[in-house]
């Protein structure tokens, strides 16, 4: 009986860790800290005409 409970706990822990790792992978932002190149910023400005810098966004929502 104790062996069964131990096995169940290990299995539950494995499932829990797998779910946590999967969620972390999904939420991980690989572009964090990177800046747009000037040519990309120019293209975006032409396309949308309303460009808000990241600094302005941070100020607005801080």
Give the tens place of pLDDT for each residue, 27-54: 887 776 788 889 988 887 777 666 678 8
Domain that holds residue 48: 2-61
Whether residue 10 contacts residue 16, with contact meaning beta carbons closer than 8 Å, is answered with no
Q: pTM of the entire structure?
A: 0.42
pLDDT at site 1: 63
How many residues make up the chain in this entry? 62
For the chain, what is the domain count? Answer: 1
CB atoms within 10 A of CB 54: 9
């Amino acid at each position: 009986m104790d062996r069964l409970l131990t096995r169940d706990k290990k299995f539950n822990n494995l499932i829990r860790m797998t779910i946590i790792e999967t969620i972390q992978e999904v939420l991980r932002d690989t572009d964090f800290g990177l800046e747009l190149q000037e040519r990309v910023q120019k293209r975006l400005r032409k396309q949308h005409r309303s460009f808000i810098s990241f600094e302005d966004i941070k100020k607005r929502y801080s």
